[in-house]
Amino acid sequence: MSDNATAARRSAIYLLDQILGEGRLLSECLAAGALDRLAPEDRARAQRLTLETLRGLERADRLLENHLNRTPALTVHNALRLGAVELCHGEAAHGVVNSMVDIVGRSRKHGRLKGLVNAVLRKVAAEGPEAWPKMRVPRLPEWLRDPLIMAWGEDAIAGMEKAQFAGAPLDLTVKPGASGPGEVLPTGSTRLHDAGQVTALPGYGKGDWWVQDAAAAIPVRILAPKPGEKILDLCAAPGGKTLQLAAAGVDVTALDVSETRLARMHENLKRTGLKATVVAGDALEHQGQYDAILLDAPCSATGTIRRHPDLPFAKDGSEFGELIEMQARMLAHAWSLLKPGGRLVYCTCSLLPDEGEVQVEVALDQHPDMSVDRAALNIAGIESEWITEEGGLRLRPDYWADLGGMDGFYIARLNKSA
């Protein structure tokens, strides 16, 4: 049994406890230093194990309930869940079972249950690998699944759940004139299905590209920045869209309220050799006049579930109303910062129409000088059926199923009359 493997598993169980027990997002746990003591390869393994367990949680629980008279304490339950997922993914039973028994056995609070862990996981090892692929694709929690079915229908949601269960490949945006690894997607991003360590990929050190989901790269293409323009990127961190704007040769101001998230943007600007004015501040208090504005508004992030399977378990939808109100206020304020004749791209990585289509419909009623630019959506890789009734663009995780899917996004380009 590898000490490193056990350390990674112990950390993954801790992360599962935080997500499923405390309602914390994985990103919050990582930012708080949950894995800082691990070596880089063990940190990567702990994150991978956490994500795989969350994606397969429903299947793991169904396998385990056959061998449990009652649900054990959360930490023990998560050790069993993690062990079941690893066993069903083909990991050697000896290593997994011994590691989980050791982890639980060393716990002062739960050590007496190591015999249970040993017995249950040995039964899962015997029957799980054969049963696993015959089980249904895990479903989203009802608090999220129900409104999504109302919006898009059961077939679409089944496709989204399939995309979430499969996970997400790694997408890159390549600087103009440079090249990047992977296959080129219809919209121009490149994709790798087995990327490995990102920093070891060719071109990383030279700053030839940055990590950015293909869907997240589309808003800047729809904005169509022109060299020399003064453009504001609101809610800009972690900075993928800022890098796109800077690479287009514009005078870009990147604003975000989080200095911690902006630190990552500074790192990427330095690595890529691109320049932007980076400002830490509240989007609702910012002042100025701009030729164009990109507003990637804070949202439920429900469109990113294939990359962030922790989200449906850490959240419960109670914050939706507050987010929708904030989006409306941000869009109205951003409109006041736009010069006459300018253009604004509003986008959210959400699957909920209230955070996308509905926001634009309401804004159009409130601003007589606002119009939707449907022609701006005529860019490479965009399918006509993705264009919505009011003239925005709706992207979903079940699109590009044969290529590995995409994040869910809503995007609309709004023109201000001169």
pLDDT tens sequence for the chain (418 residues):
467 889 999 999 999 999 999 999 999 999 899 999 999 889 999 999 999 999 999 999 999 999 999 999 999 999 999 999 999 999 999 999 999 999 999 999 999 999 999 999 999 999 999 999 999 999 999 999 999 999 999 999 999 999 999 999 999 999 999 999 999 999 999 999 988 889 899 999 999 999 999 999 999 999 999 999 999 999 999 999 999 999 999 999 999 998 888 999 999 999 999 999 999 999 999 999 999 999 999 999 999 999 999 999 999 989 999 999 999 999 999 999 999 999 999 999 999 999 999 999 999 999 999 999 999 999 999 999 999 999 999 999 999 999 999 999 999 999 999 9
Structural domains in the chain, sorted by start: 3-134 (1.10.940.10), 215-416 (3.40.50.150)
Task: Determine the Cα–Cα distance for residues 207 and 274; give it in Å rounded to an integer.
Answer: 9
- Joined together, the tokens standing for residue 154 give 């059961």
Task: Determine the Cα–Cα distance for residues 397 and 406; give it in Å rounded to an integer.
Answer: 5
Output DSSP code: residue 175: P
Residues at the binding site for S-adenosyl-L-methionine are: 235-241, 256, 296
Q: What is the CA radius of gyration of the chain?
A: 23
Nearest CA among 60, 196, 47, 193 for reference residue 120: 60
- Joined together, the tokens standing for residue 337 give 């910062």
pTM of the model: 0.93
Cis geometry, peptide bond prior to residue 298 (ω within 30 degrees of 0): no
Burial of 258-270, coded b for 16+ CB within 10 Å and e otherwise, reads eeebbeebeebbe
- Joined together, the tokens standing for residue 287 give 């002042």
Question: Do residues 243 and 268 make contact, with C-beta atoms less than 8 angstroms apart?
Answer: yes
**Cα of 408 vs its chain's centroid, Å:** 9
Q: What is the DSSP string of 126-170?
A: HHHHHHGGGSPPPPPPHHHHHHHHHHH-HHHHHHHHHHHHH---E
Residues at the binding site are: 235-241, 256, 296
Exactly one of 88, 299, 347, 349 is catalytic; which is it? Answer: 349
Confirm whether 349 is a catalytic residue: yes
